[in-house]
Structure 1
Amino acid sequence: MTAAPTTESSSPETFDYIVVGGGTAGLVVASRLSEDPEVTILVIEAGQDNTNDPLVLTPGLLPALFGNDKYDWDFHSTPQPTLHNRTIPRGGGKMLGGSSALNLMLVAWPGRGSIDAWGALGNNGWTYDSFEPYLRKFARTHEPADAAREVARVKDGQYDPSVSEAESGPIQLSFGSGYNTTNTAWADAFANLGLKMSSDPRKGTAVGAFQSPASIDPATKTRSYAASGYLTPEIRDRSNLVVMTETLVSRIIFDTSGQAEPVATGVKIRTKDGSERAINARTEVIMAAGALQTPQILELSGIGDKSLLEKHGISVIVDNPNVGEHLQDHPSVLISFEVADGVPSADIFRDPSLLQGAIAQYQETREGPMGQSVLTCAYAPLVDREGSLSAEARKTLFDEHLPASAPTNQSNTAVAARHAEHELLRSLLTKPDEPGVQYILYPTQAIIAPHPKSLGELMIPREPENFVSVQCVLNYPFSRGSCHIASPDVADKPVWDPNYNAEAADLEILARGLRFVETLVRTQPFAGLLREGGKRVPDMRADDLEGAREIVRQYQVSEQHPTSSCAMLPRELGGVVDSRLRVYGVRGLRVVDASVFPLEQLGNIQTTVYAVAERAADFIKQDRKGA
């Protein structure tokens, strides 16, 4: 049985480490630190403990989580000028396990070039080779069955057993048993377009279609996520680990008396009943509230842009205008295509009797579609209607749609740093084997309403026909957004402005990616899945570039991967944390979540978040020993 959340009355008031946020990263760090019985750790989570909730644990019930205050922060962006002023919804896990309890369980890995780019931006010690051990430390991939190898084409070098032998982590990754003709047709169509995967995507190099595993425990057919993996009953029973749920951290407390730098000494909390009190940290406060709420809490604590803090009456501890800036996200577009008779589609579960039957089957036997994920992926270099762009075409695209000249004022370090980032990303994306675009196949309709109330609306079938959907995702956005406090009250959600397509190159790359979808759906055997003359939603074509651009403007959404709002960079180049994830200008404060990414990573980011947190735990342990 899961241990009950610790109550106020039983919580000691001083800990060695306080972890703010019991999500994907926070639970990794807390669990690893608690391996040392000599230190005490407190985890403070704003959401509930839903670790026994069947809606969280059952893969097929995922759509019910979004938009529900019990599970989801349900963020909404500011109106986006390049998207016809649409407001974009974004889910965020509001519970133990954070967004690992709310994501689609699709597993993808970062690329060698993109992690090496972190180091190239001035982060000493960050290379793919130094990072790779942590990608092996968080997970354990279970070998695909023979049927999965054949039907989903998990063969021809796509699965290297030696990588699995190096894995030792608590997050269970598995290939399901429900793969079908759609998975086969997807892989074979990409191969026919010259994009056949010939390497294991876990090894840092991947171009082509591949069957990604899901974060599902194959023994129980339940979601494997941070709370189930890093906060098992045995770990919860450790006397040095306390978990407090339904509690907000309103600010970090600093000692500014006689110190060269302010020292984080604890946090002020607000419990469910509205009462407030302080809890002390002897060694460190560790921020793990995510890319939208970590900068929010830093600003509420006096770390941020001086003018913004003073506007809200907040005393300035560190004037750093980079807090909440540099935010990145994966923009994406989904197009749904009606399938031919007999082609599998999860849209059949709009029939309540079929849905209840599938749920009953899962509850009784753990078999059937409710315990599986059959999503499948592909990575492509920069593409257009005709396929991969030539070197000349890539150069032309960037020359036309990216600022090409060096900054006129070299003393303006912010401008110089932005230009260096542009050049690094441009260099990365001009490589013919670097995935600029990700494609995901959904066995259902995924239809974007003009003004959705929550992300869940994407996942509820509204059309009477049966569909599959192709999602086109921009892996490396050039645009940078922001996230800042709306008020001095932590209960007010921060203002999230992803600033999509502020750099014209993003719109152009995504539009060309949609043009490639038009080629994909006319390529066998994938074309054979679709009903001839069948419906598509939206009923727009990406045959010409302007048509593709308009699809982006009307239907682009977030892929739910915000990062980089407290970026790990040299401070003079826009950084908030150093290469050991310590916040500039203070002592005893560290950030360990996706907000520290210097650059967005390709594909779904849960693997990178887990690995960064694993490395952060090692940093913290090393720094304690060296103290």
Structure 2
Amino acid sequence: MCSQLWRMVADVVIAVLLFHGFCSAQRDPRYTFMHQATTAPPVSYYDYIIIGGGTAGCPLAATLSQNSSVLLLERGGSPYGNRNISDLAAFGAAISDLSSTSPSQRFISKDGVINARARVLGGASCLNAGFYTRAGPEYVRLAGWDAKLVNESYQWVEKVVAFQPPMKQWQSAVRDGLVEVGIRPYNGFTYEHLYGTKIGGTIFDENGQRHTAADLLRYARPSGLTVLLHAPVHRILFTKRGGAKPKAHGVIFADANGVAHRAYLKRGSKNEIIVSSGALGSPQLLMLSGIGPKTQLDAHNISVVLDQPNVGLGMSDNPMNAVFIPSPQPVEISLIQIVGITHNGTYIEAASGENFAGGARTQDYGMFSPKIGQLSTVPPKQRTQEAIDKALEDMKALPPNAFAGGFILEKITGPFSEGHLEITSRNPNDNPSVTFNYFKDPRDLQRCVDGMKIIENVIESKSFSPFRFDALSVVTLLNMTASAPVNLLPKHSNASRSLEQFCKDTVMTIWHYHGGCQVARVVDHDYKVMGVDSLRVIDGSTFRNSPGTNPQATVMMLGRYMGVKIMHERHVTNRPE
């Protein structure tokens, strides 16, 4: 009896210690499997090689490490210890850092819209505004996913990174305004994608500390995983025998000193290379490795492994348009917390507040700062560095109370409009050239107009009135946001045409770009690259539409989901007869 009691006590103590270690790891994981690429041997062998330690790559690597040896190659550094990543109040600082060591790499699409791609373990979950919400049931059905495993995979992610946000006055006023103007029902706090108005999740905890996809690596079996930082992959290696399909069998990557290393798959029919480098990086790497449109490969003297004209096609970026509303009273600092999910294909979200630390503006409009390229005061093609510098200089002349207030934004679902990506060099660290073709499809433009009309109604609602100057009409607010000679007369007969021009002139990114390696174009429904063996792509580049209102939850879920499926395939294949 005593021995049983002692065992029970010991089990409780161990559980407490494990829980304490788990919680402590959220602050400082100290992953023993994480190393600089300079420490890597010249040649190494693994069951799985994952290229890209981002939003999908981290949960995928953690899952596969449970019963296999996994190498995770990340071109950036660690997010841990960087307060520009971890602190909510510092949002935007990492994106505005244009240094070569920044966790964010700026790119400008051919459309003229300034954008960013992640260059850090944890990917875009280290840079984004933190909103966490699932994809809808119809999205899951159309993707052909197993709904039960999808739900289990979301829950696996949520145990580590998802939280309920604090709802303060300004966000609550936007929420109540949405309900008042008919974006119903009110669904309360939920991760689910439901029509109406809801409070979504966030990856910022109650202390304003960000939790990222990199935190999901604590699920890993340490002896089964090797993570190498500052390890950009230059190309995937293929073998081809006789009439068989080309087979991926290794990669060449460089370390921070420029020294080349090779990693190969161990012998085994189920061993694979998996690309999880994001919507820009994955199609780019396939092309650098010889899989892509032959004309592009020939132009860069890349040997053609597979002439695949669909690589780089289907590039889309969900356009965002917003209105700044000055407030007669102070507002809280908040990123995205509420969303109105409409039936007309537009989502309404909001962000607010300005941080004056020691009198210095550390946010400058937060996620709408010219510092991070979100410059709506001039049309896209005119957003030069000179225009950004002028906007920042003009902001310095404004009094602190001019920054009291917030933005209400609309993002359209889909979108219908598509563009393409092309490589610009053989260097994987160089940005490819990408065109998104915002509003090329007129249905996207109509959705933007519809969204702006909803925002107008929210601004004029009784619920939002404490945070609105009565003397500032919606027309004035639109012109303040655009600060351009746009003929905006929303209450007159030419309202739609005027709002169409506003949408075109003030379009920004919400960093939800996707495509380039889409399912049924480049990969099959198991995310295997068609036309070659032992190679998959698992990330947002495979999407035809952005999932949910914000994609990060689904990208993390997909990493876990496919990891479980691949593990099951391996187990079934290796099971004795």
Q: TM-score, normalised by structure 2?
A: 0.80
Residue 377 (structure 1) aligns with: 339
1:316 alignment partner, SS class: coil
**Distance in 1 between the 2:388 and 2:318 partners?**
18
Contact kept in structure 1, 2:132 and 2:202, CA below 8 Å: yes
Residue 17 (structure 2) aligns with: none
Residue 354 (structure 1) aligns with: none
Q: Shift of the alpha carbon at 1:331?
A: 0.6
Contact kept in structure 2, 1:185 and 1:524, CA below 8 Å: no
1:430-477 per-residue CA deviation (whole Å, 9 max, x = no partner) reads xxxxxx111111113436343165999999966541221111110121
**Distance in 2 between the 1:374 and 1:309 partners?**
41
Residue 209 (structure 1) aligns with: 197
Residue 217 (structure 2) aligns with: 231
What amino acid does structure 2 have at the position aligned with 1:568?
Answer: V
Q: Shift of the alpha carbon at 1:623?
A: 2.6
Q: Shift of the alpha carbon at 1:290?
A: 0.2
Q: Shift of the alpha carbon at 1:589?
A: 0.5
Aligned pairs, how many?
Answer: 493
User: Relative to 1, partners in 2 of residues 1:270 and 1:50: Cα closer, same or farther, differing over 3 Å?
Assistant: same
Equivalent runs, 1:443-592 vs 2, <5 Å: 443-444=352-353, 445=365, 446=368, 448-450=376-378, 451=383, 463-464=398-399, 465=402, 466-534=404-472, 536=477, 537-538=480-481, 540=488, 542-543=490-491, 544-569=495-520, 575-592=521-538
Contact kept in structure 2, 1:15 and 1:280, CA below 8 Å: yes
Q: Shift of the alpha carbon at 1:246?
A: 0.9
2:179 alignment partner, SS class: helix
User: Relative to 1, partners in 2 of residues 1:525 and 1:454: Cα closer, same or farther, differing over 3 Å?
Assistant: farther
**Distance in 2 between the 1:99 and 1:62 partners?**
13
Whether 1:5 and 2:35 are equivalent positions in the alignment is: yes
**Distance in 2 between the 1:586 and 1:550 partners?**
46
Unaligned runs of 5+ in 2: 1-27, 354-364, 369-374
Whether 1:268 and 2:255 are equivalent positions in the alignment is: no
Equivalent runs, 1:137-536 vs 2, <5 Å: 137-140=156-159, 170-176=160-166, 179-199=167-187, 202=190, 204-218=192-206, 221-227=208-214, 229-232=215-218, 235=220, 238-258=222-242, 260-282=244-266, 283-340=271-328, 342-346=329-333, 373=335, 375-382=337-344, 436-444=345-353, 445=365, 446=368, 448-450=376-378, 451=383, 463-464=398-399, 465=402, 466-534=404-472, 536=477
User: Relative to 1, partners in 2 of residues 1:48 and 1:89: Cα closer, same or farther, differing over 3 Å?
Assistant: same
**Distance in 2 between the 1:374 and 1:114 partners?**
22
User: Relative to 1, partners in 2 of residues 1:251 and 1:7: Cα closer, same or farther, differing over 3 Å?
Assistant: closer
What amino acid does structure 2 have at the position aligned with 1:182?
Answer: W
Whether 1:609 and 2:537 are equivalent positions in the alignment is: no
2:91 alignment partner, SS class: helix
Residue 71 (structure 1) aligns with: 103
Whether 1:109 and 2:60 are equivalent positions in the alignment is: no
What amino acid does structure 1 have at the position aligned with 2:48?
Answer: Y
Q: Shift of the alpha carbon at 1:496?
A: 1.2
1:393-431 per-residue CA deviation (whole Å, 9 max, x = no partner) reads xxxxxxxxxxxxxxxxxxxxxxxxxxxxxxxxxxxxxxx
RMSD: 2.6
Residue 543 (structure 2) aligns with: 597
Residue 59 (structure 1) aligns with: 88
**Distance in 1 between the 2:287 and 2:124 partners?**
22
**Distance in 2 between the 1:196 and 1:308 partners?**
49
1:590 alignment partner, SS class: strand
Please, which of 53, 69, 81 is the counterpart of residue 40 of structure 1? Answer: 69
Residue 6 (structure 2) aligns with: none
What amino acid does structure 2 have at the position aligned with 1:28?
Answer: P
1:547-571 per-residue CA deviation (whole Å, 9 max, x = no partner) reads 10111111101110111211112xx
Contact kept in structure 2, 1:249 and 1:490, CA below 8 Å: yes
What amino acid does structure 2 have at the position aligned with 1:476?
Answer: G
**Distance in 2 between the 1:469 and 1:192 partners?**
18
Equivalent runs, 1:66-145 vs 2, <5 Å: 66-68=95-97, 69=99, 70-78=102-110, 80=111, 87-118=112-143, 125-126=144-145, 128=147, 131-140=150-159
Whether 1:23 and 2:54 are equivalent positions in the alignment is: yes
Q: Shift of the alpha carbon at 1:205?
A: 4.7
Contact kept in structure 2, 1:109 and 1:202, CA below 8 Å: no
1:273-315 per-residue CA deviation (whole Å, 9 max, x = no partner) reads 1222321123111101001110000011111112221222111
Q: Shift of the alpha carbon at 1:604?
A: 0.8
User: Relative to 1, partners in 2 of residues 1:591 and 1:111: Cα closer, same or farther, differing over 3 Å?
Assistant: same
1:46-81 per-residue CA deviation (whole Å, 9 max, x = no partner) reads 111121222211111111111324110112101x2x
1:223 alignment partner, SS class: coil
What amino acid does structure 2 have at the position aligned with 1:448?
Answer: S
Residue 392 (structure 1) aligns with: none
